[in-house]
Amino acid sequence: MRAEARHQLKQDRFSKATFEAAEKTVHWSQEHQSKLIAGAIALVAIAAIGFGGWYYMNVQNDKASLALSDAVRTMQAQLRPAGTPAQPGLLSFDSETGRATAARKQFQEIADQYPSTHSGKMARYFVGVAAAQMGDNAAAEENLKKTAETSDSQLASLGKFALAAVYREEKKDPQAIELYKQLMDKPTELVSKVAAQMEIASVYELEQKPDEAKKIYQEIAKENPSSEASSLAQRKLAELR
C-alpha cells in the first residue's frame, strides 16, 4: 500500500471514535468528522462541574478543564493551505503535523500538572491520539495504555479503541483484535458494540479472512434489525460474496 494511502487509513481509523461521542454531547454537526479526537469533550464538561467536596480539588478541576478545552480547540483548529497567511484572531495551522505538535504540547502540560483530575487523565488520552497522528507510535502506545487501564469505563473504552488503531498501524492485528473483543463484551456509551464489531470485521477483511468477517457482519445484522448498522453490514456481506 502506498505511503500516503496508509497515512490516510491511519487518520480515518483514529478519527472513528471520538468525534461521534463529541457529537452526542456538544451537538457538533460536521458530517463525517473523525470520531476520536473530541469524543472526550463529553467528559470534559463533566470534569468542569467539579464533583469533589474539597475547594482545592474543585479549583484544580476547573483549571484543568479550561486548559483542556483550549487544547481541544487547538487540535480542532482550521488548516489553511500552505503559504497562506493566518487570519488575525483565527487559530489555524498550515499542516496537520504542526497542529498536532501544538496540541500535544498543551495536552502534555495538562496531564503533567493535573494528573489526578479527570481532565488530566483525559489529556493523557489526547497526548496518545496526537502522538499517533504524528507517527510517534511508541508515545501513543504508552499514553493510550494508561488511558485504557483507567477506572473510568468510558474513558478506558476510548483508550482501548485508539490503542487498537495504533496496533493495526503497527501490524499487530492480534493485539488489536483482543481489544476489540473486550469492547464488544463490555461496550460503553462512547464506544458501542457495533463500533467494535465493525472494526474487527475490517481487520479480518484486510487479513483476507472473509469467512470470519462474514460472521461478524451477520451478527451485526441479526442484533440490530432495521438499523443503519444492519444496512451497512448487509452491504458488506454482499461485497464478500
Domain boundaries, the chain: 3-172
DSSP run (H or E) holding 167: helix 153-169
Cβ atoms within 10 Å, residue 214: 18
- Mean pLDDT of the 45-63 span: 58
Q: Which of 29-33, 101-105, 136-140, 192-196 has the lowest mean pLDDT?
A: 29-33
- Mean pLDDT of the 156-171 span: 94
CA distances to 33, 115, 222, 235 from 231, rounded to whole Å, are 21, 43, 11, 6
The answer for 32, left when phi > 0, alpha when psi is -120 to 50, beta otherwise, is: left
- pLDDT tens digits, residue range 21-50? 333 323 322 333 344 444 454 444 444 444
- pLDDT tens digits, residue range 164-174? 999 999 999 99
* pLDDT score, position 55: 56
pLDDT higher than 60, residue 215: yes
- Alpha carbon distance 30, 194 (integer Å): 22
- Mean pLDDT of the 189-215 span: 92
DSSP run (H or E) holding 93: strand 92-93
Which is more confidently placed, 202 or 241?
202
State the fold for domain 3-172.
1.25.40
pLDDT higher than 70, residue 9: no
- pLDDT tens digits, residue range 87-112? 888 999 998 899 999 999 999 999 99
Q: In the predicted model, what is the mean pLDDT of the chain?
A: 80
- Alpha carbon distance 226, 203 (integer Å): 25
Q: Which of 37-41, 183-187, 225-229 has the lowest mean pLDDT?
A: 37-41
pTM of the model: 0.76
* pLDDT score, position 86: 87
Q: What is the CA radius of gyration of the chain?
A: 18
